[in-house]
Amino acid sequence: MASKKALGLAAATAALVMGLSACGNGDTGDGGDAAGEEFDFGLLYPQTGNLAFLGPPQLAAAEYAIEDINTAGGILGTDVPDISEADEAGDAGQANEAANNLIADETNAVIGAAASGMTQAVYDTVTGAETVQCSGSATSPELSDIDDGGYFYRTAPSDLMAGPVLAEQMVADGHVSMSLIARADDYGAGYLDAVEAELEALGADVVSTDTFDPDATTFDSVVNGANEAEADAVALISFEEGAQVIAELVEAGFEGDQLYVTDGLNDPELGSTVSEDDPEVITGMTGVAPGADNSEFNEGLREHAPDLDVFQFAPQVYDCVTAIALAAESAGSVEPSEYVGHLAEISRPEGTECTDFEQCRDLLDDGEEIDYQGVSGNIDLDDNGDPTAATFEVFHWGEDGHGTLEFVDYSAEE
Q: Note the pTM of the prediction, 2 decimals.
A: 0.84
pLDDT at 410: 61
Task: State the chain's mean pLDDT as an integer.
Answer: 89
Query: Using one digit for the tens of pLDDT, what is the confidence trace for 367-397?
Result: 999 999 999 988 899 988 999 888 888 888 8
125 and 24 co-located in one domain = yes
Strands 233-237 and 259-261: parallel
φ and ψ of 171, to 5 deg:
-70, -40
pLDDT at 401: 56
148 and 164 co-located in one domain = no
Task: With H, G, I as helix, E, B as strand and everything else as coil, classify residue 371.
Answer: strand
Q: How far is CA 141 from the centre of its chain?
A: 12
Region of 193 (left: φ > 0; alpha: ψ -120 to 50; beta: rest) is alpha
Tell me the percentage of the chain whose pLDDT exceeds 90.
74
For 267, the domain range is: 160-291+393-411
Query: Using one digit for the tens of pLDDT, what is the confidence trace for 139-154?
Result: 999 999 999 999 999 9
104 and 41 co-located in one domain = yes
18 and 84 co-located in one domain = yes
Taken as a whole, the chain contains a residue count of 414
Asked whether residue 374 is domain-assigned, the answer is yes
Split into its structural domains, the chain has a count of: 2
Tell me the percentage of the chain whose pLDDT exceeds 70.
88
Asked whether residue 302 is domain-assigned, the answer is no
Give the whole-angstrom CA distance, residue 83 versus residue 118: 20
113 and 171 co-located in one domain = no
Query: Are the C-beta atoms of residues 142 and 163 closer than 8 Å to each other?
Result: no
Query: Using one digit for the tens of pLDDT, what is the confidence trace for 31-50?
Result: 445 557 999 999 999 999 98
Give yes or no for residue 76 having a pLDDT over 90.
Answer: yes
Query: Using one digit for the tens of pLDDT, what is the confidence trace for 82-108?
Result: 999 999 999 999 999 999 999 999 999
Q: What angle do CA 141, 143, 144 make, to 5 degrees?
A: 75
